[in-house]
């Protein structure tokens, strides 16, 4: 049976190969559909969930490894962060848990490009920042002084 161009594009050569663009899209689509994700959800990353060492060592050239995607999702409306695992062959979410950001073990999801673009406007609207910048301009030491 011949592979289609799409199957060849998504076929993994080795169990530790990074996810292809098609696999990232598939994982994101499965999560959106199964978890009914709305417009406020941001994918901060989607990457290969590395298989067990025994699976990697047992893999033989030409065999198709099991592929799973690990994703971190951030709800920009509520601040909730979730960690998910998607079985790509089964097209199913196999793990979904909230990652709390204020209790141990805590941590923030990665910054999104959307946040990078928003930060300048947010800072410039802050009266405390504007006051500090005005003060800095007027309180500069004389030329040559440190």
pTM over 0.75: no
pLDDT 10s digits, 31-89: 999 999 999 999 999 999 999 999 999 999 888 889 999 999 999 999 899 999 999 99
pLDDT in tens, 76-111: 999 899 999 999 999 999 999 999 888 877 778 888
Residue ranges of domains in the chain: 5-109
Domain 5-109 in CATH 3.40.50.1010? The answer is no
6-45 b/e with 16+ CB inside 10 Å = b?
Answer: eeeebebeebeeebbeebbebbbebbeeeeebeeebbbee
């Amino acid at each position: 049976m011949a592979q289609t161009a799409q199957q060849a594009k998504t076929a993994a050569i080795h169990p530790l190969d990074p996810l292809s663009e098609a696999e990232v899209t598939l994982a994101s689509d499965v999560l959106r559909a199964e978890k009914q994700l709305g417009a406020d959800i941001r994918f901060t990353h989607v990457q290969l969930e590395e298989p067990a060492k025994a699976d990697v060592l047992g893999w033989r050239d030409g065999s198709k490894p099991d592929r799973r995607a690990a994703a971190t999702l951030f709800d920009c409306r509520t601040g909730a962060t979730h960690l998910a695992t998607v079985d790509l062959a089964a097209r199913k979410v196999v793990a979904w848990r909230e990652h709390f950001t204020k209790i141990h073990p805590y941590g923030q999801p990665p910054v999104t490009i959307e946040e990078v673009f928003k930060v300048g406007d947010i800072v410039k609207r802050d009266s405390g920042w504007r006051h500090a910048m005005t003060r800095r301009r007027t309180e500069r030491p004389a030329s040559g002084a440190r």
